[in-house]
Amino acid sequence: MNTTRMPVYFLSHGGGPWPYIEQMRSAYARTAQEFAALPGRLPAKPKAILVISGHWEAAGFTVSTAARPPMEYDYHGFPEHTYHLSYPAPGAPALAQQVRGLLEGAGLATATDAERGYDHGVFVPIGLMYPDADIPIVMLSMRADYDPAAHLRAGAALAPLRDEGVLIIGSGLTYHNMRGFGRDESTAVASSFESYLHTAISAENGATRQRMLLDWEQAPGARLAHPREDHLVPLMVVAGAAGDDPGRALFVDHVMKVPMASYEFGPAAGGQAA
């Protein structure tokens, strides 16, 4: 086993710029604590982070190439100060080209975007993990057709980066129905769907896991949990990069009457998640 291989993560990033709003941060106290502790689970500090956010999709897989990515305030109705936040982590143009090469080597067409900035699916979890903004970040878009097989293939193509000190993160939510948040009837829906995901993540081999993720629409409450699967698709990329590595729940927070789970695949220097 390569003991320096990075684990991979799917992180439920929560709603909007919540760490910067006192009332919301209180609601997400468990998530804030777990994200801050996550670097301690890694075998080493990452050389770079590759993140697939549920807030960026394009016609084809698209890679951010900016050396100094700007911010993307892709939310509405929040306090004015949240539209002036800054997370000045550098980009990594050389890694971006490597990502393109791996994807195209797997037969997946790619494009680049030199202007894409950090949306809250990026700067919220990574900002809590690394508040000094000292680790380079490359963003990879989802493909707008949401094809789970293509996203699993993309993850598998990117897996070699794990042996080069690159931390791969899928940032989304295990439940993302904007009309359902805060409603009593959503608790059972979200819990049933997360139970299906947990069974898939915990499967003994990657083939079983991937088969269950390919069939995610057959899960209980699937389309009630995800009317559009933009916040689920990052999990497909992460599962592809995980291969046959064991998966587990990192933690499950409960916010707005629904469970929001985050998952870990592979070795973790800090021990097993509770």
CATH code linked to domain 8-265: 3.40.830.10
Separation between Cα atoms, residue 216 and residue 234, nearest integer Å: 13
pTM score: 0.96
The confidence score (pLDDT) of residue 4 equals 85
Residue 104: the pLDDT is: 98
DSSP letter string over 168-192? EEEEE-S---TTTTT-HHHHHHHHH
Residue-range domain boundaries for the chain:
8-265
Per-residue confidence in pLDDT tens, the chain, 274 aa: 456 899 999 999 999 999 999 999 999 999 999 999 999 999 999 999 999 999 999 999 999 999 999 999 999 999 999 999 999 999 999 999 999 999 999 999 999 999 999 999 999 999 999 999 999 999 999 999 999 999 999 999 999 999 999 999 999 999 999 999 999 999 999 999 999 999 999 999 999 999 999 999 999 999 999 999 999 999 999 999 999 999 999 999 999 999 999 999 997 555 433 3
The confidence score (pLDDT) of residue 1 equals 44
Residue for token digits 């009593």?
Answer: 184
Distance CA 121, CA 90 (A): 17
What values do phi and psi take at 138, rounded to 5? -120, 135
Tally Cβ neighbours within 10 Å of residue 159: 17
